[in-house]
Amino acid sequence: MYIKLDIPTEFEVKSLTDLPNLKNLMENVKMKVNKSQLARELNVDRRTIDKYMNGFTPKGTKKKTSKIDVHYEVIVDLLLDNSVLVQKKRNDLKMVFQTWLYWY
């Protein structure tokens, strides 16, 4: 009997998402995975390695819009108008101060 296995000879585990492929490879070769060594290399717990090898996929995050996004244009307009007023008021106060210095 001749069985041909398509097994990659070089396999590098760079992240937790590569672990299911490693598990399949090791099962085909009839070898055991050293989970403790993988855990040390990936800086995670060995139970996390086991969880990801069994097919765990993390839930994706939801893209939520901010409640302020609806009013973004109005806020920007108000801030721009206010900054001009603050700048003008600051210049007026500076002018008053310089005038007082000149008089006294």
Q: Tell me, yes or no, whether 79 and 35 share the same domain.
A: no
What's 43's DSSP letter?
A: T
Task: Looking at the structure, tell me whether residues 47 and 93 fall in a common domain.
Answer: no
Residues 49 and 2 in one domain: yes
Looking at the structure, tell me whether residues 51 and 77 fall in a common domain: no
Three-state SS at 102? helix
pLDDT of residue 25: 81
Residue 22 belongs to domain with CATH number: 1.10.260
Could you list the residue range(s) of the whole structural domain that residue 16 is in? Answer: 1-58
Could you tell me which residue, 63 or 101, shows the higher pLDDT? 63
Token pair for residue 28? 């085909």
- Within-domain flag for 49: yes
Residue tagged 């009997």 (tokens):
1
Q: Is the pTM of this model over 0.75?
A: no
Position with higher pLDDT, 49 vs 87 = 49
pLDDT of residue 65: 82
pLDDT at 102 over 70: no
Cα(63)–Cα(100) distance, rounded to whole angstroms? Answer: 57
| Tally of structural domains, the chain | 2
**Same domain assignment for residues 93 and 46:** no
Say yes or no: 74 and 96 in one domain: yes
42 and 77 co-located in one domain: no
Which residues touch 33 (CB under 8 Å, ≥6 apart)? Answer: 22, 23, 26, 49, 53
Residue 81 lies in a domain: yes
Task: Identify whether residues 54 and 73 lie together within a single domain.
Answer: no
